[in-house]
Amino acid sequence: MATPFPIVNNKDTRHDFSCYLQSLKTADQCLGALLDELDSQGLAGDTVVMFTTDHGISFPNMKCTLKDSGTGVALFIRHPDIGRGSSDALVSHIDVFPTICDMLGLKKPDWLQGASLLPLMRGSAEKVHDYIFSEVTYHAAYEPMRSVRTDRLKLIRLFARDRRKPFVNIGDHQAKDWFLSSPLPGIEAERDYLYDLVADPAEEINVARLPQYEEEYRRLCAVLEEWMESTGDPLLHGDIELQPGQIANRPDAKTPHEPTYDRDGNPVTAKDLLEAFCRASGESHD
């Protein structure tokens, strides 16, 4: 069994990917057991089931990149009174809250973002968004980026002054070891990436500077900036610093197991933070 793109295919990475497939099998079995239990208890007709994940596969050029391989997640919703069809429409996790509100007949808060997915589930609409947005600020280390995606194009903008990839933000496994054995991952990235998702679904070719895409590039830049302004994105005003009680790895770290630091550059561990919190609250962390 070969590894899928963009993972290099060798014995070590095939082992990594086989472990990932085993985790999928386990998740599928657990979800199946839950659905079977709802059926056996006679609760399936009164229960909404929702299954999702928080990010794409944790391999190089996937998770923590804002490419589809990192932002594409599972989203399964089963409602006893609404069809179970699939949809290729653009949706986001921020759509879950308004969807639940509509399912329960609850008034949506004025501040709520996202759109209800019920029209997609009922088959009364083909889409609920023209654009969806994604972001990273801190993972293990600071790596600020924002993106806007349509059904045909994606713009990713990097905001760090040093645009070399923080390797610490790549999950630790043999696929990462092979990835970092090449000098290519250490080359500084461009500020903007525009991908033609129809002709280049693997997001390999940056067309941001090509004259054929100039109009679309400018339009998506404006859309992204308007979204950042409307959401009060602090990146518009410069770097986002750690706040009191927050810690992160340095961008030049290779693994999250290296020391973490607070906003003043002092080495701090998660255990240190927990102990400080327990002291302040008068509780034991044992």
CA neighbor of 148 nearest in space, from 205, 217, 74: 217
Q: What is the pLDDT of residue 271?
A: 84
pLDDT value, residue 84: 63
Q: What are the pLDDT digits (tens) for 70-83?
A: 999 999 999 998 87
C-alpha angle 14-20-23 in degrees, rounded to nearest 5: 145
Residue pair 156/147 in contact by the 8 Å Cβ criterion: yes
Q: Which of 130, 128, 127, 126 has its CA nearest to residue 152?
A: 130
Helix, strand or coil for residue 156? strand
Distance of CA 133 to the CA centre of its chain: 10
What is residue 57's predicted lDDT score, i.e. its pLDDT? 87
pLDDT tens readout for residues 200-256: 999 999 999 999 999 999 999 999 999 999 999 999 999 999 998 899 999 999 999
Q: How far apart are CA 63 and CA 55, in angstroms?
A: 6
pLDDT lower than 70: segments of the chain: 84, 282-286
Tokens of 124: 């009364």
Grouping H, G, I as helix, E, B as strand and the rest as coil, residue 135 is strand
Could you write out the DSSP letters of every residue in 222-262?
HHHHHHHHHTT-GGGGS--PPPTT--EE-TT-SSTTS-EE-
- E strand or H helix at 50, and its extent? strand 49-52
